[in-house]
Amino acid sequence: MILRRLTENLRAQNWTAIAIEFFIVVMGVFIGTQVSNWNQQRLEKREAEQMLVNLAPELHAQMEFFTSVRTYYATTRRYADRALAAWNGDHDVSDEQFVIAAYQASQITGIGTNAENWALTFGGNQLRNIADPKVRRNIEVLLTTDYEPVSLNSVATRYRE
């Protein structure tokens, strides 16, 4: 129908009608593209929110792990201080306490994850779809944290062997 009218207007050299019809077609394509883009952004935002819901248990588990590691190494540090005191000649620490403290100080734990795993799972490009700035910032920290200082390889020293 539009093509037939366009052809008739071209034959009649009705340039005003041709310009109006061309403008209508261009605006239709523009509006259609814009609506498609808005819909795509809405779907990406919904997908990011759903991923956050799905990742919430894992994030809570990781927070619990770091809390337990902090407690674990505080305890290990107390044993290490006791063993070092005995090694330096503190007579308040018995031989039995020294052996126990040295053994407990040799215990290790570490984390088996890194930021690359989180970046692959979540993807940095989905951050822009998170509306809550606090959540977005926390995810940014998670994706960019260097886990090497708490990795199992970094705490497995020669002393612990």
Query: Could you tell me if residue 2 is inside a domain?
Result: no
> What digits encode the pLDDT tens for the residues 55-113?
778 778 777 887 888 888 889 889 989 999 998 988 888 889 988 888 888 877 776 66
Here the tokens at position 153 are: 């390889």
The label of the residue with tokens 């093509």 reads 3
DSSP 3-state of 111:
strand
Query: Could you tell me if residue 130 is inside a domain?
Result: yes
Check residue 154 and give its pLDDT. 64
Q: Which residue(s) pair with 151 in the sheet?
A: 111
- The four Cα atoms 33, 38, 44, 45 give a dihedral, to 10 degrees, of 170
- The four Cα atoms 6, 11, 16, 21 give a dihedral, to 10 degrees, of 0
Domain hosting 94: range is 47-155
Query: Could you tell me if residue 143 is inside a domain?
Result: yes
Q: What are the phi and psi torsion angles at 73 (to 5°)?
A: -75, -25
Query: Could you tell me if residue 27 is inside a domain?
Result: no
Query: Could you tell me if residue 12 is inside a domain?
Result: no
Rounded to whole angstroms, the Cα distance separating 154 from 144 reads 18
CB 77 within 8 A of CB 109: no
Query: Could you tell me if residue 6 is inside a domain?
Result: no
Structural domain count, the chain:
1
Share of the chain above pLDDT 90, in %: 12
Query: Could you tell me if residue 29 is inside a domain?
Result: no
Check residue 32 and give its pLDDT. 92
> What digits encode the pLDDT tens for the residues 103-145?
888 877 776 666 666 666 666 667 777 778 888 787 777 777 7
Rounded to whole angstroms, the Cα distance separating 19 from 59 reads 58
CB 108 within 8 A of CB 155: yes
Burial 136-149 (b: 16+ CB within 10 A, else e): beebeebbeeebee
